[in-house]
Structure 1
Amino acid sequence: MTEAELYTMYKGIYLLKEIHTPQTLKYFEEFSFRPDDIIIAAYPKSGTTWSQEIVPLIVNGGDPTCLQSPNWDRAPWLEDLLTCSLNIEERPSPRMFATHLQYNMMPPSFFKVKPRVINVMRNPKDVFTSAIHYCEKASYHVNPGPQTKFLHKFLDGKVAYGSWFDHVKSWLNAEDKEHIMHISYEEMIMDLKDSVSRMAQFLEIPLDNEVIEKIADRCLFKNMKTNSSNFSLVPPKITDMSKSEFMRKGIAGDWKNQLTVAEAEYFDAVYKDQMNDIKHKFVWD
């Protein structure tokens, strides 16, 4: 199916028609935040699911019972259709959410209340690599087709949720810097315990070393791969895991097995042009 059939245009970017309806986007735009809300902001395939496991464990002092519900319930995407039916307004604080949208697309209440945000970023080459596998199995995404063609779509922002460059730059350039923590997928891979500790400190939740170690162990890729975070609860007609597992490899640098030399060189050229004014030091640079 084509972009016109599966996607809707919202503020200049493609969103998924199946889960981003006029009803849910209106709900999103009118949403009332609380100062102690916690938001995980990440471009798709950048570590959202991982963060939806880590953050609830931090908030609940390492108690794994908080993970009994699937990630789309414990830290739902604000812009998704399902969220409208979760009675979010009745949840006790601190509430946890996720979003794939850019900073400038957040609702008016967000800028007024200034809740805390954990912004997770990932090497865009690995984001692309993960995305092409995911789009091949997800019925609500346009089939990626030939890799080079999809690469150009990705780099031009003509994919669901728009440009990786626009998304990352919007959060890095956000005005409310003291309310936003930036962390990368690669940093989490290199030292998950330290990443958990830094998130807890940012959220001002005191955790002892033993709890931090337990959270880090619970959130290792090999352990998450065997629980409900692997999206095994999603019906095959929506996401066909026989084509590729949702939690595929969980590594950094897999793009080297995916991109041709010519594709990698083109990617680098676009990246250099798009990110030349960004001073943030990325792990993958």
Structure 2
Amino acid sequence: MTEAELYSLYKGVYVPMHLHPPESLRYCEEFTFRPEDILIATYPKSGTTWLQEVVPLMLSEGDLTPVLTVPNWDRVPWLDEHRAILLNLEQRASPRVFATHFHHHMMNQSYFKIKPRVLYVLRNPKDVFTSSYHYYGMASYLVNPGTQDEFMEKFLDGNVMFGSWFDHVKGWINAEEQESILFIFYEEMIADLKGSVEKIAKFLGKSLSPDVTEKIADHCVFKNMKQNKMSNFSLVPEEYMDQKKSEFLRKGIAGDWKNLFTEAQEQRFDAAYKEKMKDVTFKFMWD
């Protein structure tokens, strides 16, 4: 199926209609934030699921119950997806934790007024592309990726769900409310998960004992998280995600793009990256 059949255009970017029907987008637009709210903001395939595991464990002081008994889409709901309306989020005690793939400019009026705390996760766009390529091949609500070359052109032009990676990242790193945003790299979580947990906890004003920090980091190592059926999307019916084609949580490594890209594709991607990011002074781990 085509983009016109599977996606709608919302605030200038494609969103999958199956996950983001008009009533859900309207709910998100009218949603009222609280100052204590925590928002995990990411471009798709950048580490959302990982943070949906880490943050609830911080709030539960390392008690594994919430992450082993509640699916991650209800534990840390996407504000812009169809589930949000059903979850009585207004009744949830603070601090509430949400996820979004929205660009900065897509956030609602309440967000800009309240300025809740944001954890923005960045990942090397070559790995984002690689992970997306596999994901698009197994999810029925996304347009089939076609060949790697075809999908690369769509990705670089932003003709994919949630639009351009470049625009997404630039929008958030240039946000005015920098004091309420913590930027975390997927690669630093792989290199030092314990240190990343400590960094996030500090930003959230959460005091964790060394034992609890260790427990969270141990549980959230990718291979352990991948076994958690509340987090690995194995509960999603096969008609929506065929994990026989590709697992939702696949490898969880940095640099997997090297196993996918041809030399020509690497050159094409590098040239586009250099052009689109030429005015950016922000320091990325992969540069």
Distance 2:159 2:20 in 1: 17
Deviation of the 1:43 alpha carbon: 0.4
CA distance in 2, matches of 1:270, 1:200: 36
Q: Distance in 2 between matches of 1:103 and 1:12?
A: 12
With structure 1 as the length reference, what TM-score do the two structures score?
Answer: 0.99
Does 2:11 correspond to 1:8? no
Q: How does 1:1-285 map to 2 (within 5 A)?
A: 1-67=1-67, 68-228=69-229, 229-285=231-287
The number of residue pairs the alignment matches comes to 285
User: What is the Cα deviation at residue 180 of structure 1?
Assistant: 0.2
Q: Tell me the SS of whatever aligns to 1:226.
A: coil
Distance in 1 between residues matched to 2:70 and 2:34, nearest whole Å: 22
Give the 3-state SS of the residue equivalent to 2:45 in structure 1: coil
- Inter-partner Cα distance in structure 2 for 1:36 and 1:66: 19
CA distance in 2, matches of 1:66, 1:20: 25
Distance 2:225 2:238 in 1: 20
What does the per-residue CA deviation read over 1:131-181, in whole Å, with 9 as the maximum and x for residues that have no partner?
Answer: 010000000000000110110000000000000001011110000000000
CA distance in 2, matches of 1:61, 1:33: 24
After superposing on structure 2, the runs of 4+ consecutive aligned residues of structure 1 that deviate more than 3 Å are none
Share of identical aligned residues, percent?
A: 61
- Give the secondary-structure state (helix, strand or coil) at the position aligned to 1:101: coil
Cα distance in structure 2, aligned partners of 1:179 and 1:138: 34
Q: What is the CA distance between 1:109 and its match in structure 2?
A: 0.3
CA distance in 2, matches of 1:277, 1:152: 22
**Cα distance between partner residues in 2 of 1:176 and 1:72:** 27
Query: With structure 2 as the length reference, what TM-score do the two structures score?
Result: 0.98
Gaps of 5+ in 1: none
AA in 2 matched with 1:47: G
CA displacement at 1:23 relative to structure 2 = 0.5
Deviation at 1:18, TM superposition (A): 0.5
Q: Secondary structure of 1:284's match?
A: coil
Work out the CA distance in 2 between the residues paired with 1:259 and 1:106.
Answer: 34
**1:51, CA displacement in angstroms?**
0.5
Unaligned stretches of 5+ in structure 2?
none
1:247 alignment partner, SS class = coil
In 1, the alpha carbon distance for the partners of 2:112 and 2:59 equals: 23
Provide the rounded CA distance (Å) in 2 between the counterparts of 1:240 and 1:46. Answer: 20
Query: Aligned partners of 1:210, 1:279: CA distance in 2, in Å?
Result: 38
